[in-house]
Structure 1
Amino acid sequence: MKKISLLFLSILSGMGLCQAQSYTPVSLPSMFADHMVLQQNSSASVWGWGTASSTVKIIGSWAEKDTISAPVDCFGQWKAVLPTGKSGGPYTLQVFDGTSKIVLNDILLGEVWLCSGQSNMEWTPINGLTDMEREVADANCPDIRIFHAPKRASRSLQEDCFGQWDVCTPEVMRERSSVAYFFARHLRDSLQVPVGVMVAAWGGTPAESWTPTEIVQGNPDLNNNQIKQTYPWWPMEAGVLYNQMIHPLLPFTFAGAIWYQGEANRDNFEHYGLLIKSMIESWRREAGRCFPFYQVQIAPFLYKSNNNEAAFIREAQEWVVRHTEKTGLVVASDCVEDVSTIHPINKRPVGKRLADLALAKNYKTLAGVHESPFLRRCEVKEDKLVLTFSSVQNGIVCRDKEVKGLEIAGPDGIFVKAKVVINNKNQLVVSSPEVKTPVSARYCFDDATVGNLFNKEGYPVAPFRTDM
């Protein structure tokens, strides 16, 4: 009888130990941490892990009387929707399951944006920035928060990118994306709300690596066109950066995305427009909403190409905007001080122009002209071409005595320097004594020509060609 009792106690003890060992404390992915920003006036997604069949509860101190509950499924995962109010803070966020508890501090409610791309998005003040010391010293902005995703790749989908939120101080800003900072700074100053930017960028990477593998491999044009050379120290394969640096962020509730990439795809520009359009749509599907997506057109640089590859990338970037809803394009050709560097250091106007797009299109707080002129129509009038543009209703100007980079051609396709007149309809009237029967025109349609045409608001005219 004594042996049976001891055996029974041993079994009970073992069962208790087993239950204790099977318990999983509640946990969160890295984007939920101290100093984070949650999207204001939204139903913010919150998720994580815990013990199967248990219940996780979430309380935000902005509405501390409201407790949100979420069951943990058989995979140990849970997800909840947390209502947020108007901008403000600092707040706390509590996540607990009755046994373990997480308390996140210094949480702000505001506007959140995803910032991605290659080196010109990754580029930091310490890499080079116009007026760096002044800009860094002025970057004590406690209501701007920057989430930095470390550079990692994966051949399989990941649940966490292992990033970190930081309060924007001069020391932090010095080592974070300049474009993302200036974008956040201009939004903050204009909207008077906290702003969080989530930066996932890696220099030299092609767009294929930021696009789900099945999207690239499932389309013959994209699959046959992707970069073939791979390196163990550089992520060139389709999907590997999407898996590790984008997929974990897409459930997070953010207002939109900004993107600065394209230089790495010059050698396979033929389907770049389709690739970016497909990438945008795949991100939106995974996020479950059609969020705004704004690009920066690649800047002039002496690539010494044989086939105008950079010009074709810029053209493809404009094509994406024309064929994809809720998109926009920033032209940054005038931000280049030296065309022999692929990393222009004048990043403030780039971030501001991206923010202007958001202020006009998202927040409806910026009236009037807020973007660059793009060619809309080319008409033949006797021995001249008449070019019509968007965003020039208040005027189009040349900042020098004559227009740079505008050429005209006849049926032979030989382009020569054009004579340009700006008429009273803010159109360009283009001609040349060498071209009796004009057919087409081009403006800055090459690697590195920096144009000098602007609208009255100071946005540069986008490069173009009419002989498509």
Structure 2
Amino acid sequence: MATRGIVLGLVVPLMVWVSRSAGVDFRFASYIDNNMVLQKEPAGAVIWGFGLPGATVMVTVYHDQQTVMKKVTRVRELSHVWMVVLDPMKPGGPFELMAEQNLAKMNHTLRIHDVLFGDVWLCSGQSNMQMNVSQIYNATKEMSNITNYQSVRIFSVSLAQAEQELEDLAGIGLPWSKPSSENSDHGNLQNMSAVCWLFGRYLYDSLQYPIGLIASSWGGTPIEAWSSERSLKTCGIRQQGVLLLDSVTGPSKPSVLWNAMIHPLNNMTLKGVIWYQGESNMNYNLDLYNCTFPALIEDWRQTFHYGSQKQTERFFPFGFVQLSSYLPQNSSEDGFPKIRWHQTADFGYAPNAKMPKTFMAVTMDLGDRHSPLGSIHPRDKQTVAYRLHLGARAVAYGEKNLIFQGPLPKKMEVLFSKRLLNLTYQQQIQVQRLDKQIFEISCCGDHQCKWLPAPMDTFSNWTLVLNISSCPGPLAALRYAWTTWPCEYKQCPLYHPTSTLPAPPFVVFLTN
């Protein structure tokens, strides 16, 4: 698999964070810095750091040199941590934050400037999330189109592993920055996740207030590495050693990336999370992904809710990218379709009963045969991010009457006399072409069932008729787009007519 190449190609030079408190026992948490975005109302942003046990810490927020608010707390004895929750703030800025520590006659002051209030999104996953802006289609244009997006601030966590949950980040790959195309450490989009950046850019176009983006991803990694020990236990997974699979080229030991790259952020007040991962589970715990993924979502939600003093919503919005197409080499033909299905907890759509307040970007029609990074890494991340942001607008921001997912059938009727299967969809459909292979039926006879093509026959705005004459016996199931490469680039047969969102893959078992 090509994953190994992209991991190597995406590891940027790390600016390993050195404690700003070297010699001084007072500092902000590592990700609290100049140019950052803090979560706006109705939540309160959490500001925290480390200090001398028993010391008093006062946090002051300024705007145009005027005091906006003051919060006072004490440094905890055992952990040396201090923490305040700011009053809910309207979006905007810039603001300045000052933290003062007082203990006896000792006084220390910290300041950060150009702080904005808006919505903060965490972006995580493996190599398709890690792909930076320089590696996608129209990269030069994307890196120059930043003038109007200086209120979209970016931050990247450096690659790190840990055997235990860390309280603060081990390192920072890109400090909080305004986007820049310059060849510098600060704000260079070549060091930023493309999907994360584009998602934030599309959100800003819609919302017109600051967006904070935190990228924390590592190529070639399975979901187990991003899951806490608690969530893995709910799926029957125990601690284990390093994997030796082509699909797993990054850290694979359970929880090591959760411990080092996610848990240290849990005190932060977030708006939501987007996730792009699954390729590395194609041959590893594949049949558990319908448990491990919902369990990860639930555990992250619980951890961030309580870590932020209940400021992050208990069921914050969680978006994810359903896997694109892949030209397999030595992998199971069924792996990718199963992962796509398991990403939805076997519902075929999101949100659903097991995954509330989630949203999904279907990308199986974005296959990239000629990607220099391998077909598993499609370069059209603009469409990925655009489809994700539609889900965010509908699920996270409550935008009404917005189509954010493609059509699925709501009713199926077998016309035995004509050997036809009539599908009625819950949305209007646009049929781009009559495909003879993409629909399949499970045809039973002689005590066994086999999958056979069910060619698309006729259609209307709401219905599609399949020809099932190839099956003389009972039908057990119907499935759509159940291959690693269902169609060429944006050439799947079924879309929604106005949103141009593709119909997602599905499998359904029939009763006769």
Residue 187 of structure 1 is aligned with which of 184, 195, 203? 203
Shift of the alpha carbon at 1:221? 3.1
Matched ranges for 1:128-147 at <5 A: 128-140=135-147, 141-147=149-155
The answer for the alignment partner of 1:60 in structure 2 is 61
**Helix, strand or coil at the partner of 2:495:** strand
The answer for the alignment partner of 1:9 in structure 2 is none
The answer for the alignment partner of 1:168 in structure 2 is 179
Matched ranges for 1:74-93 at <5 A: 74-75=77-78, 76-93=80-97
Matched ranges for 1:55-454 at <5 A: 55-62=56-63, 64-75=67-78, 76-98=80-102, 99-126=107-134, 128-140=135-147, 141-161=149-169, 162-163=171-172, 164-171=175-182, 172-216=188-232, 218-219=233-234, 221-223=236-238, 228-229=243-244, 234-267=250-283, 268-288=285-305, 289-304=314-329, 305-306=331-332, 308-319=334-345, 321=350, 322=352, 323-338=354-369, 341-365=375-399, 367-382=401-416, 383-390=419-426, 392=427, 395-402=428-435, 405-412=438-445, 413-421=449-457, 423-424=459-460, 426-437=462-473, 438-450=475-487, 451-454=492-495
Indicate conservation of the 8 Å contact 2:221/2:249, yes or no. no
**Helix, strand or coil at the partner of 1:409:** strand
C-alpha distance after superposition, 1:104-162 (max 9, x if no partner): 01111111101000000000122x21112112211332111111000101001111223
C-alpha distance after superposition, 1:230-251 (max 9, x if no partner): 9999411000000000001121
Q: Aligned partners of 2:337 and 2:317: how far apart in 1?
A: 25
The answer for the alignment partner of 2:31 in structure 1 is 31
Structure 2 vs 1, CA of residues 59 and 422 (structure 1 numbering), >3 Å: closer, same or farther?
farther
Q: Aligned partners of 1:278 and 1:200: how far apart in 2?
A: 19
Return the index of the structure with the highest Cα Rg: 1
Q: Aligned partners of 1:39 and 1:258: how far apart in 2?
A: 16
**Helix, strand or coil at the partner of 1:208:** helix
Shift of the alpha carbon at 1:324? 1.6
Q: Aligned partners of 1:463 and 1:227: how far apart in 2?
A: 32
The answer for the alignment partner of 1:466 in structure 2 is 508
Counterpart of 2:27 in structure 1: which amino acid? S
Q: Aligned partners of 1:240 and 1:376: how far apart in 2?
A: 42
Indicate conservation of the 8 Å contact 1:330/1:372, yes or no. no
Q: Aligned partners of 1:407 and 1:226: how far apart in 2?
A: 39
C-alpha distance after superposition, 1:296-343 (max 9, x if no partner): 001110124335011110010122743121112110122223286110
Q: Aligned partners of 1:225 and 1:316: how far apart in 2?
A: 22
Q: Aligned partners of 2:68 and 2:429: how far apart in 1?
A: 56
RMSD: 2.4
Shift of the alpha carbon at 1:385? 2.3
Shift of the alpha carbon at 1:387? 2.9
Structure 2 vs 1, CA of residues 229 and 108 (structure 1 numbering), >3 Å: closer, same or farther?
same
Indicate conservation of the 8 Å contact 1:208/1:226, yes or no. no
Shift of the alpha carbon at 1:418? 2.0
Indicate conservation of the 8 Å contact 2:44/2:89, yes or no. no
Structure 2 vs 1, CA of residues 233 and 354 (structure 1 numbering), >3 Å: closer, same or farther?
closer
Structure 2 vs 1, CA of residues 83 and 220 (structure 1 numbering), >3 Å: closer, same or farther?
closer
Q: Aligned partners of 1:252 and 1:324: how far apart in 2?
A: 23
Structure 2 vs 1, CA of residues 205 and 376 (structure 1 numbering), >3 Å: closer, same or farther?
farther
**Helix, strand or coil at the partner of 2:28:** coil
Indicate conservation of the 8 Å contact 1:139/1:173, yes or no. no
Gap regions ≥5 residues in structure 1 = 1-22
TM-score, scaled relative to structure 1: 0.88
Comparing 89-98 with 371-380, greater Cα deviation is found at 371-380
**Helix, strand or coil at the partner of 2:27:** coil
**Helix, strand or coil at the partner of 1:199:** strand
Q: Aligned partners of 1:406 and 1:242: how far apart in 2?
A: 39
Indicate conservation of the 8 Å contact 2:357/2:396, yes or no. no
The answer for the alignment partner of 1:17 in structure 2 is none
TM-score, scaled relative to structure 2: 0.81
Bigger proportion of residues as helix: 1
Counterpart of 2:321 in structure 1: which amino acid? V
The answer for the alignment partner of 1:47 in structure 2 is 48
Indicate conservation of the 8 Å contact 2:319/2:388, yes or no. yes
**Helix, strand or coil at the partner of 2:386:** helix
Indicate conservation of the 8 Å contact 1:385/1:431, yes or no. yes
Structure 2 vs 1, CA of residues 398 and 276 (structure 1 numbering), >3 Å: closer, same or farther?
same
Counterpart of 2:432 in structure 1: which amino acid? R
**Helix, strand or coil at the partner of 1:411:** strand
Equivalences, count = 441
**Helix, strand or coil at the partner of 2:365:** helix
Identity %: 29
Shift of the alpha carbon at 1:228? 4.5
C-alpha distance after superposition, 1:243-299 (max 9, x if no partner): 000001121011000000000001121010100111111111111222111110011
C-alpha distance after superposition, 1:335-358 (max 9, x if no partner): 223286110000001111111111
**Helix, strand or coil at the partner of 1:310:** helix
Structure 2 vs 1, CA of residues 181 and 301 (structure 1 numbering), >3 Å: closer, same or farther?
same
Q: Aligned partners of 2:152 and 2:75: how far apart in 1?
A: 33
Structure 2 vs 1, CA of residues 211 and 388 (structure 1 numbering), >3 Å: closer, same or farther?
farther
Indicate conservation of the 8 Å contact 1:24/1:51, yes or no. no
